[in-house]
Amino acid sequence: MIKAIRLSIFFVILFFSLLLYASDSLSQCNKKTFTIAIDIGHTKDQPGATSSRGISEFYFNQNIGQRLFEELVLHGFKQTFIINKNGNSISLTDRTDISNKRKTDLFLSIHHDSVQPLYLSSWIHKGKQFLYSDEFSGYSIFYSQKNYKPKSSLEFARLLGSELRSNLFVPTLHHAENIKGENRKLVDKEKGIYEFNDLVVLKTATMPSVLIECGIIVNRDEEILLSNPVYQKAIVLSIVNAVEKFCN
């Protein structure tokens, strides 16, 4: 009898504890006010890397950025906004100034990757010569310890890496190679997370921030995948799922 009473008390306490936990979790995130900045990397004048078929990185960034915006709004994040939607000339610090002034809760910088010149070869596509490298493929995630909230930035990076891996995306590890232009600190090999302290858009942001390289556009096969709307949506949904978990 006493044992039964004790068990009953235990489950009552557990029940109310779970209610309090659920209430606290819900109170931590209001999707209607949680503000997300989507920073579309590069500009039309400075378009970043060039793909193996001659398409600018900015075009890829713009595609993912717009799709991500639409999906986040669809999932209830009504305060999501895009920085540099049309690719106008803008400085790196102007990007974070916009985000800081709007008291943004999360800053996402969208990019697509390349490799160092020593790995590039040339090929002919539709009668034109382009550079490519099929040696590396995959995504990478960067955060900065100089960010105002480095622990939260790393926390989101881990959530994002987990979501990408669960959707069968594989990280590239070439940024950790000890060569000029790379040699980044690889903090999570499984999830493809690097520490890059001096990335301006990360270290000058006053909120948790990451930069994601969605894939390597100089890889001829991966470029085709990154141009596919279904593949793009899988990347976008991975980011959205990570945002929802981070928000909660």
Residue 168 falls inside a structural domain = yes
Q: Sign of torsion, CA 87 125 222 117? A: negative
Residue 1 falls inside a structural domain = no
**What average pLDDT does range 225-246 have in this prediction?**
98
CATH code, 113: 3.40.630.40
Is 245's pLDDT higher than 50? yes
d(CA 20, CA 33): 22
pTM here is 0.88
d(CA 11, CA 127): 73
Is 66's pLDDT higher than 90? yes
Residue 27 falls inside a structural domain = no
Residue 29 falls inside a structural domain = no
Instruction: Please give the pLDDT value at position 111.
Output: 98
Is 100's pLDDT higher than 70? yes
Instruction: Please give the pLDDT value at position 2.
Output: 37
> Is residue 95 within 8 Å of residue 81, measured between CB atoms?
no
What is the count of structural domains for the chain? Answer: 1
Q: Which domain holds residue 194?
A: 35-84+93-247
**What average pLDDT does range 124-133 have in this prediction?**
98
**Residue 140, beta-bridge partner list:** 213
Instruction: Please give the pLDDT value at position 29.
Output: 81
Is 18's pLDDT higher than 80? no
Residue 30 falls inside a structural domain = no
